[in-house]
Structure formats: structure tokens, C-alpha cells
């Protein structure tokens, strides 16, 4: 997993919960990296799992909620770090349809060793998109948070419904319905 995810997570924890909470979860997680991350580094995704689980316990926040909140935060940060990926006039569903064939392609140019989830999309109607999330990291809740962050960025109200397609959570159908105003 790319270091930028770790550095943004630690920034979010520090800003939202404080430096003491960040130090506590790093110390309690027994991390090979000792919690020292660089944005351009690559780290085992199990370290992120340990950090998120530790934060969930430390702050008594359910894991799915915490991952979604991080995803929402992360999307906002991505718009600052990589503004050229985000065209406000494209709209939420059009943007989401381009994640696999545009955003991920561009991410691989920046980080050739990135391990990204895969998305396939279908568009049953103008205001509805179905994304099939596939990743052995089973972090669909993070993807849902990113989608929520995108909805806020594009200023579009949407409903998101997710359905796990297997027991491990490595395949999840995510339905996004944009509410016309």
C-alpha cells in the first residue's frame, strides 16, 4: 500500500483525535515500520489494518464507519494533492465511471507498484451507477468513503448501497444513486 495513504491516515488521526491518540495506536500496533511513513514509500497493507483496528478500539468507533470517514477525508486530500484528476464539471457518476480507466491509469504512472482495487461499472440509468469493487484487501468501506467524498466534491446528493458478494468482502457491489434536485 502506498505511503501517501499512511501519511494521510496519520494526519487525519492527529487532527481529529490528537497526537496522544496517534502515538497510542502506533505503539499498540507493533508495526514493522514503527509508524514512520513517507508518502512515496510502500508498506504492507496489514499495517493499515492494524492501525485502523487500534483506532477503532481506542476511539470506540465501528470499523466500517471509521474506514468510511477516512475515505471521505482522503478524497478531499486527493483533490488538494492531485487537483488535475478532478474536473468539477464532469459530475459524480461520470467521474466514478472513469476511476478504473483514467484515475487508476494515472495513479500507475505516478506509482507503478501501486496495488489498487479494481472497479467495473454499469449504468442502468442516468442517475444510477453500479460499481463492482474487487480487492484482496477487503476495504470496500474505504472505497465507499471515497465515493461519499466525491459526492461532496461534486456537490451531488447521493444514496449509496453496498452488498458483499462473498464472505471475505473482497467483492462488493456498490450502487450509487444521485438524487435529482
- How far apart are the C-alpha atoms of 172 and 141, rounded to whole Å? 10
Q: Which helix (H) or strand (E) holds 120?
A: strand 118-125
pLDDT at 40: 86
Q: Is the pLDDT of residue 181 over 60?
A: no
Where along the chain do its domains lie?
A: 3-61, 88-178
Burial of 139 from C-beta contacts in 10 A (0-12 / 13-18 / 19+): buried
CATH of 88-178, one of 3.40.50.300, 3.20.20.120, 3.90.25.10, 3.90.1520.10: 3.90.1520.10
Residue 164, all three cell numbers? 458483499
- How far apart are the C-alpha atoms of 46 and 50, rounded to whole Å? 6
83-141 tens-digit pLDDT: 988 877 779 999 999 999 988 998 888 888 888 999 999 999 999 999 999 999 999 99
Q: In this structure, which long-range contacts are made by residues 15-18, counting pairs with CB atoms below 8 Å and at least 24 apart in sequence?
A: 17/55, 17/58, 17/59
Q: Residues of the chain with pLDDT > 90: what percent?
A: 82
pLDDT at 107: 85
Amino acid at each position: 500500500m502506498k505511503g501517501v495513504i499512511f501519511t494521510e491516515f496519520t494526519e487525519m488521526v492527529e487532527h481529529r483525535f490528537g497526537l496522544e491518540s496517534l502515538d497510542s495506536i502506533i505503539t499498540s500496533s507493533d508495526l514493522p515500520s514503527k509508524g514512520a511513513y513517507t508518502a512515496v514509500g510502500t508498506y504492507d497493507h496489514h499495517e493499515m489494518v492494524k492501525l485502523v483496528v487500534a483506532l477503532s478500539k481506542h476511539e470506540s468507533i465501528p470499523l466500517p464507519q471509521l474506514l468510511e470517514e477516512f475515505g471521505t477525508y482522503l478524497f478531499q486530500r486527493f483533490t488538494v494533492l492531485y487537483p488535475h484528476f478532478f474536473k468539477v464539471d464532469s459530475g459524480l457518476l461520470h467521474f466514478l465511471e472513469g476511476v478504473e480507466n483514467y484515475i487508476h491509469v494515472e495513479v500507475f504512472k505516478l506509482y507503478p507498484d501501486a496495488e489498487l482495487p479494481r472497479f467495473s461499472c454499469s449504468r442502468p440509468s442516468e442517475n444510477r451507477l453500479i460499481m463492482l469493487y474487487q480487492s484482496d484487501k477487503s476495504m470496500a468501506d474505504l472505497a465507499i468513503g471515497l465515493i461519499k467524498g466525491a459526492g461532496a466534491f461534486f456537490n451531488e446528493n447521493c444514496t449509496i448501497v453496498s452488498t458483499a458478494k462473498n464472505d471475505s468482502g473482497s467483492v462488493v457491489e456498490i450502487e450509487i444513486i444521485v438524487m435529482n434536485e
